[in-house]
Amino acid sequence: MAWLDTIIQGILLGGLYALFAAGLSLVFGIMRLVNLAHGDLIVLAAFLILVLASVLGLNPFIAALVAMPLMFAIGWALQFFLLNRTLGTDILPPLLVTFGLSIVIQNGLLEGFTADSRRISVGGLESASLAIGPINVGVMPLLTLASAIAVIVGLNQLFYRTSLGRAFRATSDDPVTAGLMGIRPKRIFATATGIAMVVVTIAALYLGTRANFDPTIGPARLIYAFEAVIIGGLGSLWGTLAGGIVIGIAQTFGAAINPEWQILAGHLAFLLVLLVRPRGLFPRAVD
């Protein structure tokens, strides 16, 4: 029975990684930009929720709701005033600027919050669990997976059902002709990053409540998000969820064999998929 439990835990963990990856996949789909500071922005959001929860005495879920508009604004401004300047044919500027940003955020947080590891406490919920048949499953991991699915459904609705979603896709296809329709690409990119930061805030809530975190764990989260996006296939949000789950299961199986092998197993799963299906499991022919 143990292996069934490992798979369930893997799927639930996959929900967290899908949340990490959803924002990355959205921004890449629209403007071919990969933000190397994506993981650090998740950690930044976690600290923001922690501060709101402790200073305003809010329940973490409410604190996350309050943090969302703030993170949207941060994302919007970051794209409009900084990252838009790096867009263009040369791949160096966006990579080196976002790498610099990652270093700046990490050390800014270290200066502000020291290197101590923190946790957002949700009280009893942390240890609460439900019994589903023979397996008992933690409430928070279940909530994480549910949120991941909700986010992906929400993003898909936004992308394929709304006028803003049409504008995203049109700008990604052909920014010049999008201008002829009255679309202003610079603002559309800023809105997209803003929305990505809202998703990052949800991811940060579950990251912060699930385990300890400190200012230096951003890059590892970036790598899990990246692996989920690549395994899932570029530009496909459902693919990103599947990618997250593949990484989650690989990690829980790795941990089951030897706790030190958890992360390594995730990476090896990624390399295996890259070897067999270089365009990911569900390529949606973005490029």
Partner 1 sequence: MALLETRNLIARYGDFQALFGVDIALDQGETIAIIGANGAGKTTLMRSISGILVNQPGAVLFDGAEIGALPAPDIVARGIAMVPEGRKLFPSLSVEENLLIGRYGRAVDGHWSLDTVYELFPILRERRANPGTALSGGQQQMVAIGRALMSNPRVLLCDEISLGLAPVVIKDIYAAFPRIRAAGASIVMVEQDIGQALMVADRVYCMMEGRITLSGAPSDLTREKIHAAYFGVA
Partner 2 sequence: MTYVTIPHWKVETRTKASATFAIVAALLILLAFAAPLFASRSVLQDLFFILTMLVLAQNWNLLAGYAGLVSVGQQAFIGFGAYAMFALVILAGLDPLIAILLAGIASALLAIPTAFFLFRLQGAYFAIGSWVIAEVVRLALAQWKALGGGTGTSLPREATRDMPALKLVGGLFGVKSSEAGDILTYWLALLLAIATIGLVYRLLRSKQGLGLAAVRDNQEAARSVGVDARRMKTLVYLAAAFGTGLAGALIYVQKARISPDAAFSVVDWTAYVIFIVVIGGIGTIEGPIVGVIVFYILQTLLADYGSWYLLILGLIGIVIMLFAPRGLWGLFAERTGIQLFPVRRRLTGGPVPLAKKGGPHG
Contact residues for partner 1 (CB under 8 A)? 163, 166-167, 169-170, 172-174, 176-184
- DSSP letters, 6-47, are HHHHHHHHHHHHHHHHHHHHHHHHHH----TTHHHHHHHHHH
Residue 174 interacts, among partner 2, partner 1, none and using kind-specific CB cut-offs from 5 to 8 Å, with: partner 1
Is 95 near partner 2 (CB under 8 A)?
A: yes
Residue 132 interacts, among partner 2, partner 1, none and using kind-specific CB cut-offs from 5 to 8 Å, with: none
Element of type H or E holding 136:
strand 135-138
Is 213 near partner 2 (CB under 8 A)?
A: no
Report which residue type is found at 124. Answer: G
Contacts of 150 by beta carbon, 8 Å cutoff, 6+ apart: none
Question: Of 114, 110, 127, nearest to 210 (Cα)?
Answer: 127
For helices 218-232 and 262-276, the axis angle rounded to 10 degrees is 30
Residue number, 92 or 180, with CB nearest to partner 1: 180
Is 257 near partner 2 (CB under 8 A)?
A: no
- Residue from 54, 61, 108, 166 that binds partner 2 (CB under 8 A)? 108
Least separation in angstroms between residue 160's CB and partner 1 is 9
Burial zone of 258 (CB within 10 Å; 0-12 exposed, 13-18 middle, 19+ buried): exposed
Residue 135 interacts, among partner 2, partner 1, none and using kind-specific CB cut-offs from 5 to 8 Å, with: none
| Structural contact between residues 40 and 47, judged by C-beta atoms closer than 8 angstroms | no
Binding site for partner 2 (CB under 8 A): 33-34, 36, 82, 85-86, 91-97, 99-104, 106-108, 110-111, 219, 222-223, 226-227, 230, 260-261, 263-264, 267-268, 270-271, 274-275, 278
